[in-house]
Amino acid sequence: MLETLHPEYNCVVIHYGEITLKRSRRGKFERILRENLEEHVGVGVRRLQGRLVIDLEPGMDVAGLLERIGKVFGVVWYAPAVKVSSLEEARDILLRILSRTGARSMKIMVKRSDKRFPKTSIEVARELGREVSEKLGLRVDLKNPEQTIIIEITEDGIYVSLIKLRGPGGLPLNASGRVLGLYSGGAGSALACWFMMKRGCKVDLLHVHDEESGEKLLRSEIMYNVEKLLEYALRMRIYMIPLKPILGMFEDYQGDEKSTVKAAFILRLGEEVAKLKGYPGLVLGSRLEDLNVLEGLLEMLSMRSLPVHMPLIAFTGEEVAKRCSMLGFRVTQDLWEHKRYPAIPDPAELWRKLEAPVKRALEALETYDLRLGIEPKRVS
């Protein structure tokens, strides 16, 4: 369809939804969305009533531009379109384009944001539908059309489109503050961060590793899902901290208790980094499919002082895997494993005992700035 329309379209019309519900902050959200779009696509974005428009220039990589728009949070749907100044022009465009699509039935949807226009949406749909149907022999089918036509009548002109592309929706990135994602390297924690981005949060990452240096990990498999997040965020910061300072404590615990100790260490470490760097909350990718195996983790969560966001809390493993596949995250076997976090006899004492290893770990903190398509840069 893009190839069919390519010689004709001269703009992209972008729609947002949830922003319009935030009445007192709508102007701010629209400004942030417009700025985010301009950064993603590298060209100017115009604002009309209830929509944004990108004007296309000769030689533009339109397919690439459309793909980038689809990675901007806040965009509900968008459509490559032809801008015309009258219904007569709109009719001529439709006759020219529809004759090449091979469609046998059609439906015309009209949205009239400019109430000064002399005809109603229904009148425009009937008039265009009748003329196009008579000249091309297309059948009008309002339930199952082979081709849906979108006509938008605005204060700036009339926009005609035959394609409707879905965006990620949600709120514009950077509209809801900052959070620190506790990133394991797997798809689950990456998806949790993606959902927080969809709620408008700027998400940076903390990864706790067992290597000598975090720099080695920047070229490892754990960065695959980070790169997918960067397609939406464009830039992030990742903090690398070694697990080594806590290894000595494992000798005092048996079996699965070590998982609880490690989780408590990462959680407390995350809190300290968040306080140090100014993040009001943390993000976890944990799920509560079986409360019995998570008892220890829940005890540790009760010790924290910062809010902990768990957007996957009610997801099953199958649901997480399906969403990860849709977004292109790499799913590994550990996504399906039910890790056991047994209760520790004295969780408050464990939380206190973690103070020293957390302090030592922070001394080895490495900070890297990440930008899409650019080599990571160490900043501290």
Spatial distance between the Cα atoms of 308 and 268, rounded to a whole number of angstroms = 12
State percent of the chain over pLDDT 90: 74
Q: Determine the average pLDDT of the residues in 111-138.
A: 95
**pLDDT in the model for residue 4:** 45
Q: Which of 113, 138, 166 is the last residue of a domain?
A: 166
Q: Is 231 contained in some domain?
A: yes
Residue 19 pLDDT class (50, 70, 90 cuts)? low
- Indicate if the pLDDT at residue 121 is higher than 60: yes
Q: What is the CATH number of the domain that holds 371?
A: 3.40.50.620
Q: What is the pLDDT of residues 58-97, one digit of tens each?
A: 888 999 999 999 999 999 999 999 999 999 999 999 999 9
Same domain flag for 8 and 111:
yes
**pLDDT in the model for residue 1:** 44
- Indicate if the pLDDT at residue 337 is higher than 90: no
Q: Is 173 contained in some domain?
A: no
Same domain flag for 151 and 184:
no
Check residue 185 and give left, alpha or beta (phi > 0: left; psi -120 to 50: alpha).
Answer: left
- Indicate if the pLDDT at residue 306 is higher than 60: yes
Same domain flag for 289 and 233:
yes
**pLDDT in the model for residue 200:** 96
Q: Which of 136, 166, 196 is the last residue of a domain?
A: 166
Same domain flag for 65 and 89:
yes
Residue 290 pLDDT class (50, 70, 90 cuts)? low
The three-state DSSP-derived secondary structure of the chain is: CHHHHCCCCCEEEEECCHHHHCHHHHHHHHHHHHHHHHHHHCCCCEEECCEEEEECCCCCCHHHHHHHHCCCCCCCEEEEEEEECCHHHHHHHHHHHHHHHCCCEEEEEEEECCCCCCCCHHHHHHHHHHHHHHHHCCEECCCCCCEEEEEEEECCEEEEECCCEECCCCCCCCCCCEEEEECCCCHHHHHHHHHHHHCCCEEEEEEEECCCCHHHHHHCCHHHHHHHHHHHHCEEEEEEEECHHHHHHHHHCCCCHHHHHHHHHHHHHHHHHHHHHCCCCEECCCCCCCHHHHHHHHHHHCCCCCCEECCCCCCCHHHHHHHHHHHCCCCCHHHCCCCCCCCCCCHHHHHHHCHHHHHHHHHCCEEEEEECCEEEEECC
Residue 5 pLDDT class (50, 70, 90 cuts)? very low
Q: How many domains does the chain have?
A: 2
The pTM score is 0.93
Q: Is 294 contained in some domain?
A: yes
Full residue range of the structural domain in which residue 81 is found: 2-166
Q: Which of 131, 166, 201 is the last residue of a domain?
A: 166
Q: Is 298 contained in some domain?
A: yes
Residue 3 pLDDT class (50, 70, 90 cuts)? very low
Q: Determine the average pLDDT of the residues in 120-127.
A: 96
Q: What is the pLDDT of residues 29-54, one digit of tens each?
A: 999 999 999 999 999 999 999 999 99
Q: What is the pLDDT of residues 248-282, one digit of tens each?
A: 888 888 888 888 899 999 999 999 999 999 999 99
Same domain flag for 161 and 235:
no
Same domain flag for 228 and 310:
yes
Kindly report the CA angle at 229 between 224 and 231, in degrees rounded to 5? 100
Same domain flag for 137 and 207:
no
State percent of the chain over pLDDT 70: 94
Mean pLDDT of the chain: 91
Q: What is the pLDDT of residues 184-229, one digit of tens each?
A: 999 999 999 999 999 999 999 999 999 988 888 998 999 999 999 9
Same domain flag for 183 and 123:
no
Same domain flag for 207 and 330:
yes
Q: Is 171 contained in some domain?
A: no
Same domain flag for 100 and 194:
no
Same domain flag for 285 and 210:
yes
Same domain flag for 145 and 284:
no
Q: Is 356 contained in some domain?
A: yes
Q: What is the CATH number of the domain that holds 112?
A: 3.30.2130.30
Q: Is 172 contained in some domain?
A: no
Q: Is 196 contained in some domain?
A: yes
